[in-house]
Chain A
Amino acid sequence: MSWIDIGALEDIPLRGARVVKTAAGCVALFRTDAEEVFATSNSCAHKGGPLSEGIVHGRRVTCPLHNWVWSLETGEAQGADEGRIATYPVRVEAGRILIDDAAIGRRSAA
């Protein structure tokens, strides 16, 4: 794994999200009320809604288009819906957000 610095934790609003543009598409970074950070695909598996615009509650996000609820931990659809979105390794060190370069599909220079 090679971790790259994406930005500061404070750059994401509490109970909110920001987007990282990658070659493999947009990745959404979520900051929960408990100050955890999760990374998932920004695209809802239902109709492609931008998950980073959804309401973040607990460790879940609700898609703004049709209210599908996704687990940020597992990427599983919650409730009666079925489906899965990609999740990516992410960690916070000294207030900086690091994501795994390889996992999001960008070739490492090394």
Chain B
Amino acid sequence: MRVQSGARIGLFIPTGLSVFLPACPPVRYNSRAMIEMSHVSVTYKGEVDALCDVSLCIPGGDFVFLVGPTGAGKSTLLRLLYRDLLPSSGALVVAGYDLTRLRARDVPLLRRQMGIVFQDYGLLPQRTVWENIVFACQVLGQPRREIRKKLPEVLDQVGMTHRCDAYPGELSGGEQQRVAIARALVNQPPLLIADEPTGNLDPETSVGIMDVLREANRRGTTVLVATHDKTSVDRLRRRVIAVERGRIVRDEGQAAYAAEAIPILTTTLPRRNW
């Protein structure tokens, strides 16, 4: 369910395709908060607490690192955001959609508001770089002319123009991740979620990937990156949210990977005014 109302997205939808595309409700990104999570808990099979009473607020245009050891709940938190998982309790609003009340048929609408990047790239091996990125536009029913116009821009943005005819199997890990980021960014979503995007990459390549994400953020996209990449976190000095055993144990602006001063141990952070 959409919380805000406003201007309609101008998508070209030919008659007869309506069954393939959900009716577009009014959409506008006028909220300052891109993600609002309030007292969210996720319990698996009624026993294991994957997330416990988590509250956080990420304003539009922010760049946030989500750090913590393996199994701390980072991926669970991200899966909540793209509605791959429902919270057991609490309130969650992403890009204006109240995810606890969102109908299953409206989930595609939510996902069009975000780009998602995974550690294993998630590219389709039988399609070229160009086709992989085009795919993300075609599923939204965008006209070919518009796609042809914006693809070179996004390929240029991630530095992959020269490999647009290559298949994923012919690319290095770093190049594949750049393509995945291009696919996530091609529809200019207001939110980019990256789950350990440099997990399979060497430190030097990781720097390049983080720079691509930073550039996307500079253009106005809210970026949330779950990572173990200490070097990048320390180099970029952005907001860091640390998760341990399903709870937020630190939330600092311009911070390093590890807590530098006395850690702010909070389980339920007070609402921040952004």
Are A and B subunits of one complex?
no
Chain B interface residues (CB < 8 Å from chain A): none
Chain A interface residues (CB < 8 Å from chain B): none
